[in-house]
Amino acid sequence: MVWKEVGSWSGRGNAQTETFTSDTGGFRVRWETRNETRPGAGALKVIFRSGDSGRPIMEAVDARGVGRDEEEIADLVRWYYLTIESANVDWTVSVDERLRGHVPR
């Protein structure tokens, strides 16, 4: 299995990404929060939405405080975009698509 970068975003506060398509429906979401305004006040939520209708498809991240993690999620082949909701933290979110294949040496 190999990973192809879809996009990477960072900021503070809420954001919406551009649309992107999936050929496989499998994703890896990596996120990090830092610079929390006050301990325990930080929050980050990342939702995959339908690029056609805007409806929520799946929640990828729901985190509190400062931290980092990686999640693998899967859905259908379709157009997506992300909504990123955050409070009291700086954040970075990246999405890679899971592809079949191998990395040449």
pLDDT tens for residues 51-70? 999 999 999 999 999 999 99
Residue 52 is predicted with a pLDDT of 95
CA separation for the pair 75, 22 (Å, rounded): 9
User: Cα separations (Å) of 95 from 5, 39, 65?
Assistant: 6, 27, 21
Classified by CATH at the fold level, domain 2-99 comes out as Jelly Rolls (2.60.120)
CA separation for the pair 58, 93 (Å, rounded): 15
- Percentage, residues of the chain above pLDDT 70: 96
